[in-house]
Amino acid sequence: QVHLLQSGTEVKKPGATVKISCQTSEDTFNNNYINWLRQAPGQGLEWMELISPRDGITSLAQKFRDRLTVTRDPSTNTIFMELRGLRPDDTAIYYCARGYRFDYTFDSWGQGTLVTVSS
C-alpha cells in the first residue's frame, strides 16, 4: 500500500506563509508525479499543482502562480508545498496525491493537512 505522509495541522495569520510536507517512498519519488490539491471546509476539490520529484519539473494552476512554490528533497523523498500571502479563504485541508503512472488520475492520497488562516 502506498503511503504519503503529510505534516501536521497549521494555524496561520493572514499574510503569513505555510509550508507543508509530503513524504513518499523512494520508488514513488523517482517514478510518479505528486500533486497538491485542497478542499475548503464543506467544499469541493481544487487542484493546485504537480511536480515530478525526480527532476523538479512543476506545473501550477494559473490561480496560484504568484504565491505557490513546490520543492523537493531527494535525500528524504519529501515534497514541500509553500503558499505565501495567506488569506482566510485559504483555510482548507491540503492533500498531496500521487499521479497514477498509466493514466491521468490519482491513485493514492496523503491523509491531508488542515491549514487554518485566521487573525
Which residues of this protein are in contact with another protein, per CB under 8 A?
35, 37, 44-47, 50, 59, 61, 95, 97, 100, 103-107, 109-112
Expressed in angstroms, the distance from the first to the final Cα of the chain is 39
Q: Which is nearer to another protein, 50 or 81 (CB)?
A: 50
Q: Contact, 3 vs 12, CB < 8 A? A: no
Cβ of residue 112: shortest distance to another protein, in angstroms? 6
Q: Which is nearer to another protein, 42 or 75 (CB)?
A: 42
Q: Which is nearer to another protein, 68 or 97 (CB)?
A: 97
In order of 26, 86, 101, the CA distances from 52 in angstroms are 13, 25, 12
Residue 106: helix, strand or coil by DSSP?
strand
- What is d(CA 48, CA 35) in angstroms, rounded to the nearest whole number? 7
Q: Which three cell numbers mark 83?
A: 503558499
Cβ of residue 100: shortest distance to another protein, in angstroms? 7
Cβ of residue 99: shortest distance to another protein, in angstroms? 9
